Amino acid sequence: MDLQTVIRTIPDYPKPGIKFRDITTLLNDARGFRRAVDELVQPLAGAKIDKVAGIEARGFILGGAIAHQLSVGFAPIRKKGKLPAETISESYELEYGVDEVEIHVDSIEPDERVLLVDDLIATGGTAIAAIKLLERAGAEIVLCAFIVDLPDLGGAEKLRAMGHNVTALTAFDGE
């Protein structure tokens, strides 16, 4: 199965000229979803992973399934103001401003080996902020895993330039 065949493309969303890669169709396809989770876990065979961290919101879905499969805990990385207990945060630049992501201060123990998961890597802003946040919490990032890479936007290469291992199951060029 080619995962691209079960990922919907929505033209001109959220603004004209953007092709939005919607993985909800992949999540709705039982075989596709299972295959995606299996393929995201496969590079970790034999590796020690203590925790999966998923970036809001589709990273929660993928990360929860992967954490279950690896029998490890899950740490949600959320937009500012969404977590109820004490948090640490990291800001990142958007096209028109700044945003922040947060984790609970007690979600990562020092030296825990963490898999970072999200549905898509584009420019890398959110993923870089998540990495910085996890590292501030004491995590060792073992792998950054995504369903979709948009290589023309350079996010995966930025993560690699920071010294991180990156995997993506499929790529859409020309984005």
42-77 residue pLDDT tens: 999 999 999 999 999 999 999 999 999 999 999 999
Predicted pLDDT at 173: 87
Q: Is residue 159 part of a domain?
A: yes
Burial of residue 76, with CB atoms counted within 10 A of its CB: 0-12 exposed, 13-18 middle, 19 or more buried: buried
Say whether pLDDT at 118 is over 70: yes
Q: Is residue 154 part of a domain?
A: yes
Q: Is residue 100 part of a domain?
A: yes
Name the strand (E) or helix (H) holding 157.
helix 155-161
Q: Amino acid identity of 169?
A: L
Q: Is 157 a catalytic residue?
A: no
Tell me what the mean pLDDT of segment 114-125 comes to. Answer: 97
35, 56, 95, 160: the catalytic one is: 95
Where residue 120 sits, what CATH number does that domain have?
3.40.50.2020
Tell me what the mean pLDDT of segment 138-167 comes to. Answer: 98
Say whether pLDDT at 174 is over 80: no
Q: How far apart are CA 150 and CA 97, in angstroms?
A: 22
Number of domains in the chain: 1
Phi and psi torsions of 32, nearest 5°: -65, -45
Say whether pLDDT at 160 is over 70: yes
Q: Is residue 102 part of a domain?
A: yes
Query: Which of 129, 64, 61 is CA-nearest to residue 101?
Result: 129
**SS3 of residue 110 by DSSP:** coil
Say whether pLDDT at 80 is over 70: yes
58, 78, 90, 112: the catalytic one is: 58
Q: Report pLDDT digits (tens) over 30-43.
A: 999 999 999 999 99
Q: Is 31 a catalytic residue?
A: no
Q: Is residue 101 part of a domain?
A: yes
Say whether pLDDT at 93 is over 90: no
Mean pLDDT of the chain: 95
Question: The domain containing residue 163 runs over which residues?
Answer: 47-171
Q: Is residue 38 part of a domain?
A: no
The pTM for the full model equals 0.95
Check if the beta carbon of residue 31 is closer than 8 Å to that of residue 1. Answer: yes
Say whether pLDDT at 175 is over 80: no
Predicted pLDDT at 96: 73
Predicted pLDDT at 1: 80
Q: Is residue 7 part of a domain?
A: no
Predicted pLDDT at 100: 96
Q: Is residue 111 part of a domain?
A: yes
